A and B are shown apart, each in its own frame.
Chain A
Amino acid sequence: MEALIIFVLAVLIGYEVITKVPPTLHTPLMSGSNAISGIAVVGALLCAGAEGSSWFANFLGFVAVVLAMINIVGGFMVTHRMLQMFKRKKG
């Protein structure tokens, strides 16, 4: 129940914050949220490093760590690259 409350409140906060993002920045918003959805890495790390389970379960965890890290590193870096373009010429 607690988890559900947190989920709903987080959706509402997200809605409020994201409606204020101007259309100019919608592409960086999407690549940035790609990076944030890489938070699945938390679950992935727990699976890859779990003790006393089959190697296959750990291997699946490893696959998930790779996928999530691509999202995280790639997402934040490409967002940074785009935002620098918006920054460099004002004035």
Chain B
Amino acid sequence: MEWINLAYLVSAVLFIMGLKGLGSPRSAPRGNLLGAIGMFIAVVATLCDKGVVDYSWIIAGIVVGSAIGVIMARRVAMTQMPEMVAIFNGFGGAASLVVALSTYLIVSGGSASWATALVLSALIGAVTLTGSIVAWAKLQGYADQAMKLPKQGLWRAGLVLTIGVLAFLFIQNPYEGGCYLFARSLVALGLGVLLVIAIGGADMPVVIALLNSYSGLAAAATGFALNNYGLIISGALVGASGLILSQIMCKAMNRSLGSVLFGGAMVSDDQMDAIPGKEFYEGKVKSCGAEEVAMLLENAQKVIFAPGYGLAVAQAQHVTQDLALMLEARGIDVKFAIHPVAGRMPGHMNVLLAEAEVPYDKLVEMDNINPEFSQTDVTIVLGANDVTNPAARDDKASPIYGMPILEVDKSRTVIVIKRSLSPGFAGIPNPLFINDNSLMLFGDAKAVLQDLNRAVSEL
């Protein structure tokens, strides 16, 4: 038995070294490989465990699971990464839940601390499973809005109370309380739905990161139940990772974790009523054509792109890179300004641009690029809205006041490429669009950029 624990220790060390490798793009592929080797060692060690006697289910499970994994990893488009991570979080949670139930059936009883670990593992696993499915559906656009059920707080409290009581009953008598454990898992599945369904689409990056953390914590709890240190360590690593990322996302949106989880939409109903509609823009927006922008770009020395989720929707990352290359060939300094919530999950925009072969040293984080806007001739905002809204900096009455933004309005000219004047996730108008130095270029990002590329090449 001892050498098996030694093997788990080796794989835990490999996981930590693997995560450390993610410290830079250069060492990251090796880090990922180390992680995979660690996992392989953990699996092989477990297969040698005395407790494993029948391999038929195992082989079937490994074959089926690996095949599905390979297909999903190959097929997924980079724009779909948030959905994939969301659904993987759910699988992770589900695995912990099912392991907890199966363990109970096999061992059928134990100490109070064993029962507590099992209860936690099943609870977190179940909440992660259904919460992730709802998050996935929201990302797919099936239920984008924050949905408020009537008496939501009451429901939530009721479910939590039920779970608490059933957990207590189970822990009191783990040997005969199996039905409580199963019933409680069902209730926990409902709780997962209820927790995530009330959260708005704009907050999904936080939610995915948090569910990522939960999937790790569920695995750690399973580790407590099985007294398996490999599971505990790996689960703790994932738990910490998800928690850090959700903190970063919250900071980037100037929200507290509590208000994301329990506060509903970003803008309250009262604030919503006070928000001006279309009349906000009336007669104040200057629109322009591709030729005009090409002329501006011709005389520019420094150009910054500020991409947002609209770029991903329009699949315009490749055309954007074509334009960037053309401008660079003319000796223009080109950079990309990346807001932490620019995509739909942490780091999403970086992946999309990396796919389009934008070198990663051209991608500049918000804090580093903001001082550069005042020396920039042209900034091109591509399908980004709220993260460029100067009201977040200037207007104390704005619902998004205090949210860190890309200060694109400080550059000499701002070109905003957008389909219409419709508001972003926050649902508020953007004064950037009526600034003196702003020009709107209306249309689908990809089509507009193709026109622009043609105009620039004809200069």
Which residues of A approach B to under 8 Å, CB–CB? Answer: 3, 6-8, 10-15, 17-51, 53-54, 56-90
Contacts and interface: CB of A to CB of B under 8 A. Distances in A.
Contacts of B219: 37, 39-40
Chain B contact surface mostly: helix
A83 B32 contact: yes
Given A25-B347, A30-B345, A47 B106 contact: yes
Given A27-B350, A30-B85, A43-B222, A49 B22 contact: no
5 contacts: A21-B19, A27-B351, A50-B106, A80-B32, A83-B32
Contacts of A73: 65-66, 69-70, 73
B42 interface: yes
B192 interface: no
B406 interface: no
B332 interface: no
A22 B85 CA distance: 19
B39 to A, nearest CB: 6
Interface residues of B, number: 112
A12 B16 CA distance: 12
Contacts of A67: 65, 91-92, 94-95, 98
B171 interface: no
A3 to B, nearest CB: 6
A49 B53 contact: yes
Interface in B305-349: 338, 340, 343, 345-348
A37 B95 CA distance: 10
A36 B40 CA distance: 11
A86 B25 contact: yes
A34 B235 CA distance: 10
B28 A83 contact: yes
4 pairs of A and B residues whose beta carbons are closest in the complex: A69-B65, A65-B61, A26-B347, A73-B69
B68 A82 contact: no
Contacts of A59: 57
Nearest to A43: B99
Chain A contact surface mostly: helix
Given A37-B219, A47-B102, A7 B232 contact: yes
B290 interface: no
A24 B360 contact: yes
Contacts of B230: 39, 42
A15 B244 contact: yes
Contacts of B57: 48-49, 58-59, 61-62, 65
B46 A45 contact: yes
Contacts of B35: 32, 35-36, 76
Contact of B88 (A27, A70, A88): A70
B85 A72 contact: no
B68 A87 contact: no
